[in-house]
Amino acid sequence: MSSLTVDSVNNWARRNPSARLIQRLANHEIAVHHTALDELPQNEGVHYVRTLLVAAGLLQPRDEILQRFDQWCAHFLANALVADRAVLEPYVRWHVGQKLQRMAHRAPIKSSTTRLARQKVRAASTFLTYLRAHGILPGEVKQSTLDDLVVTHPQIPTLLAGFLTWGATNRILPHLHLELPRTIFPSAGLSETDYHQTIQRLETDPVLPLRVRTAGLLIGLYGQELTRVVALTEDDFYRDQEQLYVHLGTSPVRLPPHLAALILEQQQDAALVHTPNSPRWLYPSVLTGHHLAPKTISASFAQHGVRATPLRNAGLVNLAGHIPIGPLCDLTGIGPYAASRWADIAGRRWSIYPKLRVENQP
């Protein structure tokens, strides 16, 4: 190895935060333990090294997104005034936190979910700060005060609704009426022609990377979020004779032959980079043993002129035009209200109901 290369490696080891942390772990300056890593300033370097240690089997896997939310809450509450903390801490623990725990039992938590939860906690803190500034105790707040807050903080209403309901239920706050803004009607994203052309391109264009084709078809045909697609494992698929099925909801979906062939090819590619201690991801990361980050596939989409959100929206319109609301909710994970709005866009007729579901399958 040339001196230039050696110097480059040494410089990288000195300057790269992840490399410095690995060096400290190797020198036993820091214990190889989640608790020891939790005590460090949380940044991308620490998150990356933790992921490597989990992939290597040196640390037990845990829900990092949920853990980071708990750490954020502890720091946020520690910096809150004592009077506010007495109200915020039970709200965070018994309402926001428990809701996230229930969600985590059903499916992995997404970073967008905890980001919204943090916004709700901040909104509750803003509300308490506003009351204190006006010399009002939480139990004495009147509707006019809430109305004034909404005028001066127009972003607050949607985020504050849960806190007001929780406070009224637990007799901390009086019952206050919060007028929520009307939800913006969803957009189809792509015209019908553009949608079908995009699907056809994903099905037939060999120039597109395989992961763009498979992920794009799962998004466009089945209305899946990219965060759900990248978290699929081989256990989410099974074969029955010549058919391939995928579990996206409670019932399996039979994949069309062109997509099934692409998925099988993607599984073969993924098998080459699987690590022993990680799930068999459909889109594994070569370095970490985890699945690819959504932004990685998003970048591939953008490079080849595919936009995930408009494609998913058009897929939802297509599905809503062909299947009832119940199966639509199960397949895509959206709620009944959202499903009905997509159905309104599609101008759905209930007489058409293709068999996307396979009944009575194990």
- The Cα–Cα gap between 219 and 307 comes to 10
The packing angle between helices 64-78 and 98-106, to 10°, is: 170
Mean pLDDT of 19-42: 84
Q: Is the pLDDT of residue 4 over 50?
A: no
Mean pLDDT of 203-213: 95
Domain range annotation of the chain: 3-55, 64-169, 192-346
Decide if pLDDT at 55 tops 70. Answer: yes
Note the pTM of the prediction, 2 decimals: 0.61
**Residue 6's pLDDT is what?**
53
* 340-344, long-range: CB < 8 A, 24+ apart: 341/183, 341/185, 341/186, 342/186, 342/316, 342/317
Backbone phi, psi, residue 23, to 5°: -65, -40
- Taking CA atoms, 56 is separated from 68, 131, 226, 277, in Å, by 21, 50, 26, 7
Q: Return the pLDDT at 185.
A: 59
Average pLDDT of the chain is: 84
Burial of 6 (0-12, 13-18, 19+ CB in 10 A): exposed
The 8-class DSSP code of residue 58 comes to S
* Mean pLDDT, residues 70-99 taken together: 92
Q: What is the CATH number of domain 192-346?
A: 1.10.443.10
In sequence order, the β-bridge partners of residue 9 are none
Residue 5 confidence class, pLDDT cut points 50, 70, 90: low
Predicted pLDDT at 304: 94
Q: How confident is the model at residue 233 (pLDDT cuts 50, 70, 90)?
A: very high
Look at residue 102 and tell me whether its pLDDT is greater than 70: yes
Question: pLDDT for 330-348, tens place per residue?
Answer: 888 888 878 888 888 887 4
Residue 148 has pLDDT above 80, yes or no: yes
Choose among 174, 84, 168: nearest CA to 129.
Answer: 84
Pick the closest to residue 84 from 166, 168, 92, 146 (CA basis): 92
Q: At what angle do helices 192-204 and 308-320 cross, to 10 degrees?
A: 110
Percent of the chain's residues with pLDDT above 70: 88
Least confident of 11-20, 116-125, 346-355: 346-355
Which is higher by pLDDT, 152 or 226? 226
Evaluate whether 212 touches 297 at the Cβ level (below 8 Å).
yes
Asked if pLDDT for residue 258 goes beyond 90, the answer is: yes
Number of neighbours of residue 117 by Cβ within 10 angstroms: 24
CA distance 328 to 309: 18
Query: Contact, 240 vs 123, CB < 8 A?
Result: no
261 is written with which tokens? 């062939």
pLDDT band of 295, cuts 50, 70, 90:
confident
| The dihedral sign for the CA sequence 132, 137, 143, 144 | negative
Compare 58 and 358 and report the one with higher pLDDT.
Answer: 58
Identify the CA nearest to 131 among candidates 162, 169, 88, 187: 88
Q: Give residue 216's Cα distance to chain centre.
A: 17
Write phi, then psi, for 253 (nearest 5 degrees). Answer: -115, 130
Mean pLDDT over 323-329 rounds to 88
SS3 at position 251: coil
The closest of 195, 194, 223, 180 to 325, measured between CA atoms, is: 223
Instruction: Residue 161: count other Cβ atoms within 10 Å of its Cβ.
Output: 14
User: 200 Cβ partners below 8 Å, 6+ apart?
Assistant: none
